[in-house]
Amino acid sequence: MAKKSARTAAGLRFGIVVARFNQRITSMLLRACTDTLAHCGVAANDVQVVRVPGAFEIPLVARTMARANRFDAVICLGAVIRGDTPHFDYICSEVSRGIGQASLETEVPIIFGVLTTETVAQAEERADQKQFNRGGAAAQSAIEMVKVMRMIRGEADKVAGSKLTSRNGRARLRRKQ
C-alpha cells in the first residue's frame, strides 16, 4: 500500500518539455521526472511530454504550454554541456532567461530542470536517479510550486495534503500530518 503522502499530487496536470540534444542525459532526466510524478500520484494521462530539438527551443514551447491553460505546471528538461566555444554561455543564458520570463508572463510555475555542466560525466551524475536525480527534483519543485501558487490564490481546498502556515511573517507550505 502506498503512503498517503505519496499521493499528494493526484489530479494535478503537468507539461514536460524535454530537449532531444544530449538525449542519453535528457532521457534519464525524463525518466526520473515521470517516475517521481507517478510516485506522487499523478496519473499518466495527466502528463504531456513534448520533445524539442535542443535546450534553446525549450522556453517557447514551455510558454506555449503554460498559456494553453491545460497544465498546473510545466517542467523543462535539457542538458547543455560546455564545449570549446562560447556557444555554451549563450545557450545557457538564453534558456534560463526565457524560462524565467515565460513563468513570469504566464503566472504558471515553469521549472528549470536544464543541466548546465562542464563535462558529460557531471551531466550523467546529475541525471542518475541514484545520485543527484535532478529530473526527480524538478518534478518535486513543480508539485510544490503548484501548491504554493494555489495557496496564494486562495485555492486551498484544491490542494490535497498541504496547508500554508506563517511563521515570523514568512509563508510556508507544510504537509498535513
Is residue 171 situated within a structural domain? Answer: no
* 20 Cβ contact list (under 8 Å, min separation 6): 26, 51, 52, 53, 54
**How many domains is the chain built from?**
1
DSSP one-letter string for 27-40: HHHHHHHHHHHHHT
Is residue 16 situated within a structural domain? Answer: yes
pLDDT in tens, 62-111: 999 999 999 999 999 999 999 888 888 899 999 999 999 999 999 999 99
87 catalytic? Reply is yes
Name the residue range of residue 61's domain. Answer: 11-136
| CA-wise closest residue to 79 among 47, 104, 37, 112 | 112
State the catalytic residue, choosing from 87, 153, 174, 176.
87
Mean pLDDT in residue range 18-25? 96
Is residue 177 situated within a structural domain? Answer: no
| CA-wise closest residue to 51 among 76, 31, 73, 34 | 76
pLDDT in tens, 107-144: 999 999 999 999 999 999 999 888 888 999 999 999 99
Counted residue by residue, the chain has a size of: 177
| CA-wise closest residue to 12 among 30, 38, 51, 49 | 38
Q: What is the pLDDT, as a whole number, of residue 168? A: 44
Is residue 20 situated within a structural domain? Answer: yes
Is residue 146 situated within a structural domain? Answer: no
Q: What is the pTM of this model?
A: 0.84
Is residue 34 situated within a structural domain? Answer: yes
Is residue 31 situated within a structural domain? Answer: yes
Domain at 26, CATH number: 3.40.50.960
